[in-house]
Amino acid sequence: MAENTNKEVDKIVDHLFRHESGKMVAVLTRVFGFPNIEQAEDIVQDTIIRALETWKFGKLPDNPQAWLYRTAKNKAIDLIRRQKVKHKIENDIAPLLRSEYTMMPAMNEMFTENEIKDSQLRMMFACCHPSISQEGQISLMLKTLCGLSTHEIAKAFLTSEDTIQKRIYRTREKIKEEKISLDYPGADAMVNRTDTVLKTLYLLFNEGYNSSHPEKLIREDLCEEAMRLLMLLTETPKTNLPQTNALLALMCYHISRFNSRLDDKGLIVLLKDQNRAQWNTFLIDKGNEYLQFSANGEVIHDFHIEAAIASAHANAPSYEETDWKMILQLYNTLLQRTNSTVVALNRAVVLGEVEGYEKAITELENMKGLEENCYYNASLADMYLKQGNSELAKEFLRKALTLTSSNAEIELVRRKLADCK
Amino acid sequence: MFLYRGKEGGHGLSPEAMQKHMEKWYAWMGDLAKKGIMGASEPLQPTGKQVSGSKKVVTDGPFIEAKEMIGGYTVVNAKDINEAVEIAKGCPVFEVDGKLEVRPIQKM
């Protein structure tokens, strides 16, 4: 055994405990019912501790996943036999759990691959129930489906553990109040509810991708989790909608650039200066593939347009050879649909590439409500600089400097200031 | 021989942190194995039976308080107890407030 120790370590998959925790919590909550989620979490915690205590001696079971499921199943059955489930189990499996003849087979069935996926999907829908606040949805999803602790969630959102604990507590109270179950919404509500789930996953991804978080690993984790859950949606016919694929394409394109956005000193590298050879071509290909799948049905979703924009960037051989005209058209459509100031800001920058910086400046100067936005001031400065007006550029850069607390962003603006001669 | 005492480690840790902790155990034990000083090393199940008195009364565990429970053991080859204690100091059990007892095996 001893000689094998190092070889054995290789077999432990990255994040095995975390991912399997998420799956087991979803399955056991499905078995016990949503109000009993805490008991499900306790069992999973005990299971992982048992694994730690047993496996740390260097021996891994042949199939670690099966070992975890077996242990969790046995603990769950013990709990049911001792009748210590706080709230009565009331769901379609409940009758099967009352008889010793059917209990074990029913439990085994719940831990098959398809049922695990189904439980995760149900949990995703329940977490993204419209009556739960956006931040509550994300926190609960990270806790129950992704196996993150409140401490880790707090770290990801740069807030205190206390805040996250309260947030999750309030969300759970809401679940009980509103009697939110793990049942799927009816066929007529399915598309709408899937869109809510997509929106939450989009926000989760953005949190990881855009956040000025100092720790890259945490940000990568959030993106990875969002993509992992989204993949689940594409693997299930009823949630594998065109917009699901469009969103996944969008994420693939973005994440393909993840590593080239920062240099080795952790400083921001702008799109124009990024080394495109560092972009992950596998992910760009995947993005193209999902974008193909998304070109279906009769409805255009915002994600289709955003993915198309990201696709134009990801597939462009260089900054100069980017199809700015098409990107501008896509932004025009997106702006009409969303009327969002962030979209308008991005569109103006693209307008500068297509119709000249003069036009972009007029457009930007006419925008209202963005005066205190760091990106707005930085973009305006950039346009002035490209136009050759370094005095005004400096002015807006200095303003931008006061509007961000991210070290990487401050450094970027400083470098730009130094460029203004 | 090292006896790992105390309640099961990892309470309050996230799954990810537990996995990291376990990887440290692998590294530590792997290192002992590489140096050729590790003998048998096994985890113990948390429950068992206790046989006591002349009437040989059999009872279920826990045998003693949870904080004294032995979770497993490792036999190491050391020249004396001081060297064994030095080896023990690198054990990840201390990172989760665990206890490790070093006992020489009586040579017959």
The CATH number of whichever domain residue B65 belongs to comes to 3.30.70.1060
Please state the rounded mean pLDDT for residues A408-416.
Answer: 86
Q: Give yes or no for residue B7 having a pLDDT over 80.
A: no
| pLDDT computed for residue A3 by the predictor | 42
| pLDDT computed for residue B62 by the predictor | 59
Spatial contact of A381 and A393, defined as CB atoms under 8 Å apart = yes
The domain containing residue A54 runs over which residues? 1-111
Please state the rounded mean pLDDT for residues A336-352.
Answer: 92
Nearest C-alpha in A relative to B98: A53
Task: Given the cut 0.85, state whether the ipTM is greater than it.
Answer: no
Share of chain A above pLDDT 70, in %: 96
Strand partners, B38: B76
| Per-residue tokens: B58 | 């059999």
Q: Give yes or no for residue A310 having a pLDDT over 50.
A: yes
Task: Specify the residue for token string 């409805």.
Answer: A299
Greater confidence (B64 vs A245) lies with: A245
Number of domains in chain A: 2
pTM score, whole prediction: 0.83
CA-based nearest residue to A253, from A296, A199, A302, A303: A303
Same domain, A45 and A105: yes
Inter-chain touch A18–B19, beta carbons under 8 Å: yes
Under the banding of pLDDT at 50, 70 and 90, the label for residue A317 is: very high
Q: How far apart are CA A9 and CA B86, in angstroms?
A: 25
Q: How far apart are CA B45 and CA A214, in angstroms?
A: 42
Same domain, A50 and A145: no
Q: How far apart are CA A77 and CA A104, in angstroms?
A: 8
Under the banding of pLDDT at 50, 70 and 90, the label for residue B56 is: confident
For residue A88, being part of any structural domain is answered with yes
Share of chain A above pLDDT 90, in %: 59
For residue B91, being part of any structural domain is answered with yes
For residue A293, being part of any structural domain is answered with no
CA-based nearest residue to A9, from A59, A83, A44: A59
Same domain, A104 and A181: no
Nearest chain B CA: its distance from A40 CA (Å):
15
Per-residue pLDDT reduced to its tens digit, A20-75 = 999 999 999 999 988 889 899 999 999 999 999 899 887 788 899 999 999 999 99
Q: Which chain A residues are within 8 Å of B26, Cβ to Cβ?
A: 5-6, 8-9, 56, 58
Spatial contact of A190 and A128, defined as CB atoms under 8 Å apart = no
For residue B107, being part of any structural domain is answered with no
For residue A220, being part of any structural domain is answered with no
Inter-chain touch A148–B26, beta carbons under 8 Å: no
Under the banding of pLDDT at 50, 70 and 90, the label for residue A412 is: confident
Same domain, A14 and A43: yes
Q: How far apart are CA B39 and CA A370, in angstroms?
A: 68
- Sign of the C-alpha dihedral computed for residues A57, A61, A66 and A71 taken in this order: negative
The domain containing residue B10 runs over which residues? 2-102
Which of helix, strand or coil describes residue A315?
coil
Among the three residues A111, A134, A159, which one is the final residue of a domain in this structure?
A111
Same domain, A154 and A197: yes
Same domain, A84 and A181: no
Spatial contact of A227 and A206, defined as CB atoms under 8 Å apart = no
CA-based nearest residue to A79, from A133, A32, A124, A118: A32
| DSSP 8-state assignment for residue A268 | B
Per-residue pLDDT reduced to its tens digit, A108-119 = 999 999 999 999
Number of domains in chain B: 1
Spatial contact of B96 and B9, defined as CB atoms under 8 Å apart = yes
Please state the rounded mean pLDDT for residues A172-190.
Answer: 88
Spatial contact of A179 and A38, defined as CB atoms under 8 Å apart = no
For residue A393, being part of any structural domain is answered with no
Residue A351 φ then ψ, to 5°: -55, -40
Strand partners, B74: B2, B41
Residue B97 φ then ψ, to 5°: 65, 30
Q: What is the gyration radius of the CA atoms in chain B, in angstroms?
A: 16
Among the three residues A65, A80, A111, which one is the final residue of a domain in this structure?
A111
Nearest C-alpha in A relative to B7: A53
For residue B18, being part of any structural domain is answered with yes
| Per-residue tokens: A271 | 């799109």
Q: Which B positions 44-83 lie with beta carbon below 8 A of chain A?
A: 46, 71-72, 74
Q: Give yes or no for residue A237 having a pLDDT over 70.
A: yes
For residue B108, being part of any structural domain is answered with no
Nearest C-alpha in B relative to A15: B16
Q: How far apart are CA A377 and CA A288, in angstroms?
A: 33
Same domain, A14 and A106: yes
Inter-chain touch B8–A16, beta carbons under 8 Å: no
Among the three residues A189, A210, A231, which one is the final residue of a domain in this structure?
A210
Same domain, A148 and A104: no
Distances (CA, A) of A383 to A271, A332, A358, A408: 15, 19, 8, 21
